[in-house]
Amino acid sequence: MKGHADASRRDPLVTAAAVVGFGLLTVYVTIMVSQESTFADALPWAVVMAAGAGAIAGAGRMGNRRNARWVLIGATVMFGLLGLASILSIGIGFVVVAVLSGAAAARMT
């Protein structure tokens, strides 16, 4: 029954950050391919975004809230840096994910 206890305390901010993160991954790859770039050109950034969004989603399922908080802090830093690096194009979405995951990390105390 441990899975039921974990699911009942899942933070909606974690879920929102993961959904927005994976959504931005889809948008990014779609934009890159539509600009006649190959998928191989987008792959390094796509892997980083998928790892970050997956880490956020995984943090929502972790039983240890302290470890989940550190994962969310790492994702906040990563998406924040991605957002600043690409602020003139898709970066505002990454900043949104960073804010959501940072808020979720703050609530994990």
Q: How far apart are CA 101 and CA 72, in angstroms?
A: 6
Give the pLDDT confidence score for residue 8 in this predicted structure.
35
Kindly state the average pLDDT of the residues 68-94: 92
Q: How confident is residue 60, by pLDDT bands cut at 50, 70 and 90?
A: confident
Kindly state the average pLDDT of the residues 13-37: 90
Q: Pick the residue with more confidence: 76 or 10?
A: 76
Q: How far apart are CA 71 and CA 86, in angstroms?
A: 22
Q: Which SS3 state, helix, strand or coil, does residue 28 take?
A: helix
Domain count, the chain: 1
- Domain residues for 77? 2-107
Write out pLDDT tens, residues 26-56: 998 888 888 888 778 888 888 999 999 999 9
Q: How far apart are CA 20 and CA 26, in angstroms?
A: 10
